[in-house]
Amino acid sequence: MQYLWTFLVGGTLCAIAQVLIDKCKLTPARILVIYVSAGTFLAAFGLYEPLVQFAGAGATIPLTGFGYTLAKGVSKAIAEKGALGILTGGLSGAAAGITAAIVFGYLAALLFRPKVKK
pLDDT tens track for 23-64: 998 888 999 999 999 999 999 999 999 999 999 989 988 889
Phi then psi dihedrals of residue 27, to 5 deg: -80, 160
Give the dihedral sign, CA 54/95/111/115: positive
Give the dihedral sign, CA 106/29/25/61: positive
- Model-level pTM? 0.78
CB distance 4 to 31 below 8 Å: no
